[in-house]
Amino acid sequence: MSATVLCTLDLPDPFSGIVESVARLRSLGRLPAHDELCDELRRDPVDVLCPQLRDRVDAEVLDAGLPRMRCVSVYAVGYDNVDVAAATERGIVVGNTPGVLTDATADCAMALLLAAARRIREGDEELRAGRFHGWEPTYLLGLELRDALLGIVGFGRIGQAVARRALGFGMRIAYFDSTAPPVDESLRAHVTRVGFDELVRDADVISLHVPLSQDTRHLVGEAVLRRMKRTAVLVNTSRGAVVDEAALVRALREGWIAAAGLDVYEREPELSPGLAQCSTAVLAPHLGSATVTTRAAMAELCAHNAVDALSGTVPRNCVNPQAWGERAPASLLSGG
């Protein structure tokens, strides 16, 4: 019985090369429905499952993978689609791909911030619709970034990478993080830690960089949107459900805030009714990590996590090493 890895969608190079050098790789080449994925795992058991962020890996999927499945290696940094507690209970380690997509995602947040604050999307629409009749002193005025206060919610790797970029635009930086993460030395003198309410009240731009969890679901809802400045811009490149999207549509329509730059949505790929019609919303289709270099680096890390697990080693990026405790399974690799 050779070690077997299953991915749902095909993953970019060098994923296959790394996995196939030690194991049999199967790819469904499509996004399976939840029940199809369970059936597939029961029919043709695997040692490692490599899902991407749209595959829901709940207790039922994990049970379908037992007794053989030892690892779920997610092709993403966010792993809110995996029931990690259930995986831990079943002795299944979960890997993800942090670090390698920090810069690409921070770039995307800045692109959305700039486009929303400087009304680039509205201008694009005006121009294409033939409504641009030449330069005017007060036409499509936006937010000046110099000295504007950027409030970053979640100050991990990506939040700090956004801070670094925003400092280059002369922005002031405040951040809120409930976990007091270590702040890079180069940033310490330039950022201020504040409470969430203060950040919401004072920020000219709010950028969200928290993982989706029970605590962060709808963190930005009607009450928060109503407390933001009417001139403020909201940027979300984290997970859609961190924002109550229906409330955001009302906020944009009724002018509680000035604009939003979004890369993620509550029910992807669907948009909440009315969002597509909001001219002050800049909408990107979950492109945060979408560069050739970054997707390849994610593929490499995802593959290494899988191979580590096959060799009986806790994956190099593992969110629940306690799933194996002292009893790592034996290596499935020849010579291992």
Query: Of these residues, 118, 157, 239, 295, which one is catalytic?
Result: 239
Task: Note if 239 is an active site residue.
Answer: yes
- Calculate the alpha carbon distances from 234 to 93, 134, 139, 210, 243 in Å: 35, 29, 22, 14, 10
| Contact criterion met (CB below 8 Å) for 260 and 234 | yes
Positions in 119-138 near ligand DGY (CB under 6 A) = none
Burial class (CB in 10 A: 0-12, 13-18, 19+), 110: buried
Among 92, 101, 234, 297, binds ligand DGY (CB under 6 A): 101
Name the one residue in this structure whose structure tokens are 């486009």. Answer: 115
Return the number of the residue (76 or 112) whose C-beta is nearest ligand DGY.
Answer: 76
Residue 126: active-site member: no
Using CB under 6 A as the binding rule, the residues of this chain from 48 to 87 that contact ligand DGY are 53, 76-78
Rounded least distance, CB 116 to ligand DGY, Å: 19
Q: How far apart are CA 191 and CA 185, in angstroms?
A: 11
Q: Residue 199 class from Cβ within 10 Å (0-12 exposed, 13-18 middle, 19+ buried)? A: buried
Decide whether 25 or 53 has the Cβ nearer to ligand DGY: 53
| Contact of 238 with 108, CB cutoff 8 Å | no
Q: Which is nearer to ligand DGY, 204 or 263 (CB)?
A: 263
- Least distance between ligand DGY and beta carbon 323 (Å): 20
Tell me if residue 266 is catalytic: no
Among 252, 288, 300, 301, binds ligand DGY (CB under 6 A): 288
Binding residue count for ligand DGY, defined by CB under 6 A: 7
Contacts to ligand DGY from residues 192-231, by CB under 6 A: none
Q: Which of 8, 160, 272, 289 binds ligand DGY (CB under 6 A)?
A: 289
Least distance CB 169 / ligand DGY (angstroms) = 24
Per DSSP, helices labelled H in the chain are: 15-20, 34-43, 59-65, 84-89, 102-117, 120-128, 157-168, 185-188, 196-202, 222-227, 245-254, 292-310
Out of 119, 172, 286, 304, pick the active-site residue.
286
Q: Please choose, from the candidates 156, 81, 96, the residue with its C-alpha nearest in 3D space to the C-alpha of residue 301.
A: 96
Q: Name the site residues for ligand DGY (rule: CB under 6 A).
A: 53, 76-78, 101, 288-289
Which residues are catalytic, by number? 239, 268, 286
